[in-house]
Each structure stands twice: as structure tokens, then as C-alpha cells.
Amino acid sequence: MSNLVHVPKNGSLANTNSKANFTNLSSLLDDLFNRDLPSVSTSNFISKDSLPKVNIKEAADKFVLEMAVPGLKKSDFKIDIDHKVLAIFTELKEEKEEEKENYTRREFGFSSFKRTFTLPDSVDDEKINATYKDGILSILLPKREEAKQKPARSVKIL
């Protein structure tokens, strides 16, 4: 058995593997083909194991749903309301091609997500609107007039 690590008397480690100083051809190729063309599948917000994070805030007259989805355009989203269910989804397809003198590199990716929320009866679904700014999708869910919290008041005794 060869000794790859030599521990000198001063306690520091020294690698004695002579091949360690030469870059591996496989790692060179991996480096060449794994940079400069990020694809949808390597996006930092969507993977098969995660969904965009959501905050839901309630005020006296509305709910506000905020979803963190950086790197998209507002045209990438589709928002539907059907039978008191709010559905937010996107499908991204990306294809890139790079041609050089002696090779062609093609990459493609597909990514999607769908989040659904059951709306409470207090939401006026005819007045829902959405905005997308700085990577945050905000959906305003106004409450019906009869569901809005009324200020406290005193009742006069007759």
C-alpha cells in the first residue's frame, strides 16, 4: 500500500502524490462544458424538490400574497382563478446553442412550477390583481365589503 500523505515531524501535512499537481483531463472538460451557459434547470429558484417561497399577509380590507421568483418576467406567469382556487404557474423552456470553429454546443432545459391556494369566501375574486417587481410576484386579494373589519363602536343603551 502506498503512502499518499506524509506527516513530517513539525505536524504539517504534505501531499506526496505526484499526480496531484497535474490537472485531470476529465475535470478540464467538465469545467469547459459546465460554465458560461446557465440553463433553466440550474435556476436558483426552481428544482424538482422545491417551490418558490410565499408570504401571505392579512389586513382589515385585503390579503396580500407575495411569492419570491427572481429571474423571471411577468409574461412568464399565468394566474387563474377557478371555483375559489387561485393557481399560479409557469413553464420555462430554454435552448442555447454555441458554435465554435471545431465544435457545436447545444443545451436545453425545461422547468415549471404550480402553486394553488384555496380562497376564503371573504375574498372578492372579481377584484384580484397582480404585479411583478424586483423578483417578487405580489397578488392583491381584496376582501368583500361585508367581510371587511369594521372599527369598534359603542352601542347606546335605550
CATH at 58: 2.60.40.790
Flag whether 4 is in a domain.
no
**What is the C-alpha separation between 99 and 102, in angstroms, rounded?**
8
Confidence of residue 26 (pLDDT cuts 50, 70, 90): low
Q: What is the mean pLDDT of the chain?
A: 77
Flag whether 14 is in a domain.
no
Say how many domains are in the chain: 1
- Name the grid cell of 90: 409557469
Surface-to-core class of residue 46, CB atoms within 10 Å of its CB (0-12 exposed, 13-18 middle, 19+ buried): buried
Flag whether 54 is in a domain.
yes
Average the pLDDT over 52-58 and give the result. 92
> 142 is in which domain, residue-wise?
49-89+116-146
Per-residue model confidence as pLDDT tens digits over 58-105 = 998 999 999 999 988 989 999 999 999 999 999 888 888 888 888 788
The predicted structure's pLDDT at residue 126: 92
- Name the grid cell of 158: 335605550
In 3D space, the residue among 144, 45, 157 whose CA is nearest the CA of residue 92 turns out to be 45
The predicted structure's pLDDT at residue 35: 54
